[in-house]
Amino acid sequence: MFYAKKLNKSELLIKDGKISQIAEKIDEKADQVIDAKNNLVAPGLVDVHVHFREPGQVHKETILTGSKAAAHGGFTTVGAMPNVVPVPDNVDDFKHQLALNQKSVIKTLQYAPVTANETTDSLSPIEDLAKLGAMAFSNDGHGINNAKTMFEAMKRIKAVNSHLAAHVEDQNLFNKGVINAGPAAVELGLPAIERVAETSQLARDLILAKETGVHYHVCHLSTADGVKMIRFAKDAGINVTCEVTPHHLLLSDDNIIEDDANYKMNPPLRSEIDRRALIDGLLDGTIDMIATDHAPHAESEKNQGFLKSAFGITGIETSFPLMYSRFVKTSLISLEQLLELMTIKPAQIFDLPAGEIQIGKSADLTIIDLNKKYQIKKEDFISKGVNSPFINQEVYGQIQKMFVDGQEVYSI
């Protein structure tokens, strides 16, 4: 089976790293023939939100381990967030980051920070970093608290025709919370993160985005009110898009029954009402894409309970099989819809040369055995991060082989 906007049975010819023919039967002789019969051949998946931790925190992940994990998960293009150490907030460090990204076995594109160190109100050299090839701008991990800073950043990012991907979080409202404000927080006696930490800043940003016209992309949306606001903003013609993670679609704080930090991430798992609103948003197109927010940490940083452990979960190796098993096999969405959310939509929205199987385009391909059932196991992760709440779950949809520019980068 083969996917290019619709599912077909066809043969594909790859030449010089590009798709050169698509036909029911290809007669031309090839050096190598791969029989993908009974498997799905999809465009390489695209994830616009990952953390690869290099430089600075290579005990959590490196560009090599993160990108190999991405290939294992079916991804050929990812956007790496700039919350590494040091934050590449100047021309030299950004160039150094781009050079490091060459270690990737897939296409690792780079976000540039919006402000110096992601935490100050001094804007980074946006024009220079855009020129060097920043895929977009983000302070992911930190909200931009000062409205004037955000307003100025939006104007400059708009002027260079780039994108602003926002980790929407009011720091003061977030306070020192570690879990969603709800029954689990009360039960476990943990400091809570109110939804308004996300929604109040989102409301502000949508107004600023309207005024500036910048492409404003919301990272890891987690609240029902957030979905409503984005729906409203899209209706009003505001240039807004947004992503949701598999974990916010599949889990809520009802699933947190003990003090297990594999359920700790930012934004936190919200309520069942929020989760259902995110699903509705995905179904009606308010939410544009699925992104993993792959946030690997060492085991010792995640076995400290909610209070002391780091925020974030590993996700790039489980995203497709989880979404396929829980959303497609249950007929909530079609396979075509899932592929759109994980390929063409993110590629189009961020202007990436990816996401489609088309003659003349790069042969970035994912071969998936949709019928293969397996268990998610810690020892099977290629990522250094094994901090996942989905361990031991049974899923369908196993990645068999991966190609980037026609070169095999993963085989089971």
Binding of ligand NCD by 83 (CB under 6 A): yes
Q: How far apart are alpha carbons 256 and 227 in whole angstroms?
A: 23
Contacts of 207 (CB under 8 A, 6+ apart): none
Q: Is 52 annotated as a binding residue?
A: yes
Position among 293, 356, 364, 369 found at the interface with ligand NCD (CB under 6 A): 293
Position among 141, 182, 321, 385 found at the interface with ligand NCD (CB under 6 A): 141
Q: Residue with the closest Cβ to Zn ion?
A: 167
Q: Is 7 helix (H, G, I), strand (E, B) or coil?
A: strand
Binding of ligand NCD by 136 (CB under 6 A): no
Q: Is 220 annotated as a binding residue?
A: yes
With CA atoms as reference, report the closest residue to 268 among 327, 203, 197.
197
Q: Is 213 annotated as a binding residue?
A: no
Tell me the residue ranges of DSSP E strands in 142-264.
163-166, 179-180, 192-193, 215-218, 240-244
Binding of ligand NCD by 167 (CB under 6 A): yes
Cβ proximity of 263 and 305 under 8 Å:
no
Q: Which residue do the tokens 């010089």 mark?
A: 16
Specify the pairing of strand 365-375 against strand 215-218: unpaired
Please choose which of ligand NCD, Zn ion, none residue 93 contacts, taking the beta carbon within 5 to 8 angstroms, the exact cut-off set by kind: none
Q: Is 156 annotated as a binding residue?
A: no
Binding of Zn ion by 293 (CB under 5 A): yes
205 is catalytic: no
Please choose which of ligand NCD, Zn ion, none residue 345 contacts, taking the beta carbon within 5 to 8 angstroms, the exact cut-off set by kind: none
Binding of ligand NCD by 140 (CB under 6 A): yes
Cβ proximity of 89 and 117 under 8 Å:
yes
Cβ proximity of 245 and 279 under 8 Å:
no
Task: Give the x-and-dash track for 155-184 against Zn ion (CB under 5 A).
Answer: ------------x-----------------
At closest approach, how far in Å is the CB of 210 from ligand NCD? 25
Q: Is 266 annotated as a binding residue?
A: yes
Supply angle C-alpha 54, 59, 61, rounded to 5: 50
Cβ proximity of 15 and 405 under 8 Å:
no
Task: Give the x-and-dash track for 255-284 against ligand NCD (CB under 6 A).
Answer: ----------xx------------------
Neighbouring CB atoms inside 10 A of 326's CB total: 16
Q: Which is nearer to Zn ion, 41 or 168 (CB)?
A: 168
Q: Is 327 annotated as a binding residue?
A: no
Q: How far apart are alpha carbons 148 and 167 in whole angstroms?
A: 17
Q: Is 140 annotated as a binding residue?
A: yes
| Six-digit token string for 197 | 């930490």
Position among 54, 61, 93, 140 found at the interface with Zn ion (CB under 5 A): 140
Q: Is 31 annotated as a binding residue?
A: no
Q: Which is nearer to ligand NCD, 51 or 270 (CB)?
A: 51
**Using CB under 5 A, which of the segments 1-9, 135-143, 185-193, 368-376 binds Zn ion?**
135-143
Q: Is 148 exposed, middle or buried (0-12, 13-18, 19+ CB in 10 A)?
A: exposed
Q: Which is nearer to ligand NCD, 86 or 353 (CB)?
A: 86
Q: How far is CA 311 from the centre of its chain?
A: 16
At closest approach, how far in Å is the CB of 160 from ligand NCD? 24
Catalytic residue among 293, 351, 364, 380: 293
Q: Cα separations (Å) of 127 from 84, 155, 353, 404?
A: 21, 11, 22, 30
Position among 95, 194, 272, 311 found at the interface with ligand NCD (CB under 6 A): 311
**Using CB under 5 A, which of the segments 17-25, 52-60, 61-69, 293-301 binds Zn ion?**
293-301
Task: Give me the active site residues, please.
Answer: 293
Residues of this chain that bind ligand NCD (CB under 6 A) = 51, 83, 140-141, 167, 265-266, 293, 295, 311-312
Residues of this chain that bind Zn ion (CB under 5 A) = 140, 167, 293
